[in-house]
Amino acid sequence: MAIKKIAVLTSGGDAPGMNACIRAVCLAAISVGADVIGYKYGYNGLLKQEYIPLDQYVVRNLLQRGGTILHSARCEKFKHPEQIELAAKHLEDINVDGLVVIGGDGSFRGAKKLQAVWDKPVIGVPGTIDNDITGTDYTVGYHTAIQTAVESLDKVRDTAEAFERIFVVDVMGREAGYIALNSAISAGADHVLLPETFTSAAEELVKILDKLDKRRKNRANKSHIIVITENLWPGGLNVLADSLQAESGVDVRILTLGHVQRGGSPVWQDRLLATKLGTYAVELIQQNEKGMMSAISHRLPAAIPLNDDTLTRKELNTYSMKIRDEITLLG
Ligand SMILES: Nc1ncnc2c1ncn2[C@@H]1O[C@H](COP(=O)(O)OP(=O)(O)O)[C@@H](O)[C@H]1O
Ligand SMILES: O=P(O)(O)OC[C@H]1O[C@](O)(COP(=O)(O)O)[C@@H](O)[C@@H]1O
């Protein structure tokens, strides 16, 4: 299909590599003779018809830049059907032939609804540090977030060992344990608490103390690093730290990594992924594919329908789970 104009936006939690993806969409569109515009502030820009033209000069040097030049935002209004109709009208008014939505599962829910009322392609590109989208091996931003978490855990290890302290390190992920699980394995943490397997504070505390006890008996250094997904411990991490300190008699410190995990220059894996998925999104628009995610599956680009299967949270990698249990016991 001959396409003349493509629009792109970034929505939901920003992720390193979103800029690289905007660049890829722009350059791929230009290469097939299309103009490109970028809506600002996620779906807000679409509702307010607020956009900027994109060309090869605007996207120059974006590959390595963190954040998103289009800004990201949440947009509650977009959940209302009449606002989604308005968005479709705005796209029609300026003759857009296809829209690329770079975002997470929430943004994809919006994209799916927009597709239902607009007859040109809406394509999602998975951009979230959480890596929680079914149908794609990875999401743009995830590798960089893991890298940041791992570097921080390595540093925490140094000070934890110096004082032989327990550290509880809180990482992002909303309700998904990908960042926690794989950063914990990659940094050789001693324990990891995940939303997918969490039972109750009482049971988890017993498991932590049990492992801590074994570790402190068997290891030369008595430090202990616990990685936990944000918002998981009932009552907050101070509650966990107080219980741990009271039960073990060991000094406990808490570190919340927070939004640093969303920033920084994307690592090469995210740059490459963003470039592939952005380019493939434009191909899908050319093929008049509608309501699809431009995904990566077994290292190849794949068109995955934005349906109820895709919009459920991706299960954790079973092999990572297996080695978490085996390796963190050995340590
Ligand atoms: N059910 C929905 N219907 C329409 N739009 C939605 C829906 N869920 C989310 N969105 C849109 O996507 C935006 C981003 O969603 P959110 O869940 O916050 O982030 P993410 O896309 O990173 O998961 C929301 O602010 C809203 O504009
Ligand atoms: O920046 P906010 O609004 O505090 O959101 C924090 C959330 O965004 C994330 O960083 C990314 O999540 P999404 O990509 O689903 O928006 C989560 O890990 C975290 O829970």
Q: How confident is the model at residue 326 (pLDDT cuts 50, 70, 90)?
A: confident
User: Ligand 2: which of 72, 131, 170, 174 to mutate, most ligand atoms within 8 Å of CB?
Assistant: 174
| Ligand that comes closest to the CA of residue 311 | 1
Spacing, Cα 93 to ligand 1 middle (Å): 24
CB atoms closer than 10 angstroms to residue 203: 10
| Ligand that comes closest to the CA of residue 256 | 2
Q: Which range has the worst mean pLDDT, 13-17, 103-107, 210-214?
A: 210-214
Q: pLDDT per residue over 78-106, tens digit each? A: 999 999 999 999 999 999 999 999 999 99
Average pLDDT, the chain: 95
Task: Give the ligand 2 atom nearest the CA of 74.
Answer: 3
Task: Give the ligand 1 atom nearest the CA of 74.
Answer: 25
Whether 75 is in the pocket of ligand 1, judged by its Cβ within 6 Å, is yes
| Ligand that comes closest to the CA of residue 262 | 2
Whether 78 is in the pocket of ligand 1, judged by its Cβ within 6 Å, is yes
Spacing, Cα 125 to ligand 1 middle (Å): 14
Whether 67 is in the pocket of ligand 2, judged by its Cβ within 6 Å, is no
Whether 129 is in the pocket of ligand 2, judged by its Cβ within 6 Å, is yes
Q: Say whether pLDDT at 47 is over 90.
A: yes
Who contacts 254 (Cβ-Cβ below 8 Å, separation ≥6)?
Answer: 167, 168, 169, 170, 237, 238, 241
Whether 107 is in the pocket of ligand 1, judged by its Cβ within 6 Å, is yes
Give which of 76, 83, 85, 123 is closest to 103, Cα–Cα: 123
Q: Say whether pLDDT at 330 is over 60.
A: no
**What pLDDT is recorded for position 327?**
64
Whether 103 is in the pocket of ligand 1, judged by its Cβ within 6 Å, is yes
| Ligand that comes closest to the CA of residue 41 | 1
- The mean pLDDT value for 27-31 works out to 98
Whether 66 is in the pocket of ligand 2, judged by its Cβ within 6 Å, is no
**What pLDDT is recorded for position 312?**
87
**What pLDDT is recorded for position 275?**
98
Give which of 169, 126, 137 is closest to 315, Cα–Cα: 137
**What pLDDT is recorded for position 217?**
83
Spacing, Cα 92 to ligand 2 middle (Å): 31
Q: How confident is the model at residue 16 (pLDDT cuts 50, 70, 90)?
A: very high
Question: Residues, the chain, total?
Answer: 331
Whether 276 is in the pocket of ligand 1, judged by its Cβ within 6 Å, is no
- Express the helix, strand and coil content of the chain in percent, nearest 5 each: 45, 20, 35
**What pLDDT is recorded for position 221?**
81
Is residue 97 annotated as part of the catalytic site, yes or no? no
Spacing, Cα 195 to ligand 2 middle (Å): 15
Distance CA 114, CA 116 (A): 5
- The mean pLDDT value for 113-129 works out to 98
Distance CA 125, CA 278 (A): 7
Cα–Cα distances (Å) from 294 to 87, 126, 136, 241, in that order, read 21, 7, 8, 42
Give me the percent of the chain exceeding a pLDDT of 70.
98
Q: Say whether pLDDT at 328 is over 80.
A: no
Select which of 14, 35, 105, 130 is catalytic. 130
In this predicted complex, what is the ipTM?
0.98
In sequence order, what are the beta bridge partners of 297?
A: 300
- The mean pLDDT value for 203-219 works out to 90
Q: Say whether pLDDT at 325 is over 80.
A: no
- The mean pLDDT value for 262-271 works out to 98
Closest C-alpha to ligand 2, atom 9: 13
Residue ranges of domains in the chain, CATH in brackets = 5-141+266-305 (3.40.50.450), 146-262 (3.40.50.460)
